[in-house]
Structure 1
């Protein structure tokens, strides 16, 4: 398994695949199956990966934000493979256990219910480095890829037992913006002329935006906190998108190096290969970049699977999500699944015609989000042409409904136009997760965590909170912002 970070799944099939050359992803698609409707279970790094590794929905593991995810001793599908005789190896970005990411990141998540609106991210920018010969821009990912391919050649090729290798990449996640200082986030789209040559610039157009006044309230909040409410030129927007696509091309090349290592070791024909990502990147769609949104650019992930005995050149319309990978891997290995999992194996969808008895996948995907840059817990149910998004307690914030067949850009919320669809999807969503109760639990967790953190700072609290990522906006009226926090803590 090669798992990328922030890779828009729509680039793995037509027409998205036209905009950037991704030869190794295309190779997987030609020899395996491409899922056209694969989704993250939470559009942010750690909770998404927690769902993939555990096979459990976010609300079941209480992976509320990038700081609160799985316990370090949680049983993953790779642990089960190892217990059943597999030689296993994990390299690169894992990021599914609690305790990581910045103080800013967790405080922003805890305080998302506070009645203020502060920019929390850096304005998205582009940076061109090197020249037309500069291949290795993201050196840390290349080092991990080198280690993975070396392991294939030196270890996997010599084994007399099955193996499982996981390579986690950071690309095409944005880079940290050094000019923002030590508390700054990642808002730099960085690449080299070498990778930009892989992008069809003429096919890039600036996405359509709703006026700020017409945005859904949670989308408005996200746009402001992501520092995207200001003016952007058409050239800026196109550059951000082009650089993002170039970063995807670099990640594709890393997948290619792994495939080449398997081939040279004589293992490719006997190995199941998966490529996926934790979430996507909006890359200026909906006047946002980054993730933390249920819009397609953020929530739609790549999923391609090839291997012996599996269908070739298949494009599956089945709606699936990352929790499906846990039972899929176990079924591939012939290992019984422990307990009840949130996902369902997609192996029957991959089997060559007539080789396996049919098993029904439910055909829907659940994604939920409880972290920073969104001021309410968010729940997305995707089934058929419909995407339904509910918020908080289901009453205080209006839901959204999009018909992705007719409205692929998600600019027309038709929730009031189709009351029966809304009622049906609301009922189905509540049958999967009692989301108002989950939202309430997250609110209580956020307050408790914030109170504990504030208490740990003592007299340093005012200085520390004023100098987190939102420091520019916070310090315009620090007294009012502290009062807003107090009002939130003392409120319902």
Structure 2
């Protein structure tokens, strides 16, 4: 019986799973999977934020703030239909979204002519001592549930199973304490995990000057509260604490592998380890996600189990819409956007490949949410990463040669106009992005107007109590006028 145990986490940056990133922190479970299975070196999220990314993982689409309708068919529903026992633990997001009113208002008003901080300044915090292993208790509880289910339920099943475990790690969270750093986005760990990090191997990312930044990057950096001064020690600590949180995540993966080994299921179970998006950890003067830079969009994807080649590294560009569920060899729905990974994973390539398995050389990602003041579209093809914004002309595109410039510090769009035109033609063949961008602007306007009308004259007071309150209250009338001007311009159709 072929089992499918699906380990899904918020591990972030996929580069950590292979050299040179893995020199910064000890990840024994990841290394075990690399040795026993296959690693995808160029795996990408289709949207660098939780909810839509996880919806795409489940072969579905939704907007960033609403969960799927209860009657939507996910790949796990499909597995159940074909005789699999399924179980889910932990973070799902595709069922609810969980994004706050602040997230929504920030996204709706991103075209307004103002700059307001949407995040607390990133910082670090130690908890406990060298003996404290369980820092993120909620994730450990869900891991324990998954382990117990394997030991008590899965081991006794007569049919195959699918197990999904969704974790929050290594997500930075707003600090609850008051004072100067109230609301700061905190990377949290214990001395136990921090000792797993090789400080000397931590790379301090290079930053462009604020005046040289791409306008969308500047907006993102400002709203993420990262345009202030940061010492090298601060940046190194943020990155070190992030790596320590990844080490704790790796230990949870290890618990799943140990449970499968202890029950005799490991040899006939496929394990898939991936994430919904990455973590910039102060690259490009940003933390968090919502960016097409590698730290945010490049995700881990490792697969091990029967029929999967061992110690294989795959260079093909793949993404979350690619059908990892097809490993179970169930009938394939015809409306899926992705391509089967089986031809890349199987030990012996078949003599015939179906037309659907002829995958393209590109992957697509897009983002329409908060912390970014434009709709963003990314095409990764070969050595190139092409990023288009809005209608394609009002905001300059970016082009990076990831072979020559892996840190994405030099935009070569002007230098290679033929490449830009070629990639933009492919992008337009996949999605009419100027039209989509316009639709998003219309959606944002209507959603904000509905929200504002539901509050009457109190909308400004409500905003003052959202995450922006420290900036908003500095010049409340100025920001109210900017919103009113934005609404008038939109009503006149002058977008």
Structure 1: stretches of 5+ with no match in the other structure: none
**1:120 corresponds to which residue?**
118
**1:102 counterpart = 2:97:** no
Partner deviation per Cα, 1:120-162 (whole Å, 9 max, x = no partner) = 1000010011111110000000000000000001110000000
* C-alpha distance in structure 2 between counterparts of 1:186 and 1:255, whole Å: 29
1:262-320 deviations in Å (ceiling 9; x for gaps): 11111101011000001010000000000000000000000001110110000000100
For the Cα contact (< 8 Å) 1:64–1:442, is it kept in 2?
A: no
Deviations 1:438-464 (A, max 9, x none): 111111111111111111112321210
Q: 2:413: which partner in 1?
A: 415
Q: How far did residue 73 of structure 1 move?
A: 2.6
Which shifted more, 158-167 or 349-358? 349-358
Match of 1:276 among 247, 251, 274: 274
Residues 348 and 356, structure 1, Cα contact 8 Å, conserved in 2: no
Q: Do residues 328 (structure 1) and 333 (structure 2) align?
A: no
Counterpart secondary structure, 1:438: helix
List 4+ stretches of structure 1 deviating above 4 A: none
1:334-413 matches, cutoff 5 A: 334-355=329-350, 357-358=352-353, 359-413=357-411
| Residue among 53, 57, 65 paired with 1:52 | 57
What is the CA RMSD across the aligned residues, in angstroms?
A: 1.4
Contact 1:43/1:293, CA 8 A, preserved across alignment: yes
- How far did residue 360 of structure 1 move? 2.2
Aligned equivalents of 2:33, 2:71: Cα separation in 1: 33
C-alpha contact (below 8 Å) 2:67/2:93 kept by paired residues: no
Separation in 2, partners of 1:179, 1:140: 20
Distance 1:52 1:185 in 2: 31
1:280-295 to 2 correspondences below 5 Å? 280-295=278-293
Deviation at 1:338, TM superposition (A): 2.0
Post-superposition offset of 1:97: 3.0
- Counterpart Cα distance in 1 of 2:318 and 2:174: 31
Identify the match of residue 28 of structure 1 among 5, 18, 33: 33
Task: Give the match's secondary structure for 1:323.
Answer: coil
> 1:353 deviation in Å?
3.1
| Aligned match of 2:63 | 64
Separation in 2 of the partners of 1:46 and 1:399?
A: 26
In structure 1, the residue corresponding to 2:240 is in which secondary structure?
Answer: helix
Q: Indicate how the Cα distance of structure 1 residues 29 and 357 shifts in structure 2: closer, same or farther if over 3 A, else same.
A: farther
CA distance in 2, matches of 1:320, 1:129: 37
CA distance in 1, matches of 2:361, 2:97: 34
**1:64 and 1:369 in contact (8 A); partners too:** no
- Would the aligned equivalents of 1:92 and 1:168 in 2 still touch at CA under 8 Å? yes
Counterparts of 1:206-225 in structure 2, within 5 Å, are 206-225=204-223
2:24 is the counterpart of 1:19: yes
Q: 1:261 to 1:355 in 2, by over 3 A?
A: farther
Contact map agreement 1:447 1:489 (CA 8 A) in 2: yes
| TM-score, with structure 2 as normaliser | 0.95
Alignment check: 8 A CA contact 1:9 1:280 kept = yes
* 8 Å Cα contact 1:32-1:311 kept in structure 2: yes
The 3 A distance-change label for structure 1 pair 3 and 180 is: farther
TM-score norm. by structure 1 comes to 0.95
Q: Distance in 2 between matches of 1:43 and 1:101?
A: 14
The number of residue pairs the alignment matches comes to 480
What is residue 196 of structure 1 aligned with on the other side?
194
- Tell me: CA distance 1:71–1:284, structure 2 relative to 1, closer, same or farther (3 Å): same
Mapped partners of 1:96, 1:418: distance in 2: 39
2:254 alignment partner, SS class: helix
Q: Say if 2:311 is the partner of 1:316.
A: no
2:453 is aligned with 1:458:
no
Q: 1:40 maps to which residue? A: 45
Task: Tell me by how many angstroms 1:177 deviates.
Answer: 1.3
Alignment of 1:129 with 2:127, yes or no, is yes
Of the structure 1 ranges 357-366 and 246-255, higher mean CA displacement relative to structure 2 is found in 357-366
Query: 5+ unaligned residues in a row in structure 2: which ranges?
Result: 1-5
In the alignment, the residues of structure 1 paired with residue 72 and residue 37 of structure 2 have an alpha-carbon distance, to the nearest angstrom, of 31
Query: Are 1:121 and 1:225, in contact at CA under 8 Å, matched by a contact in 2?
Result: yes
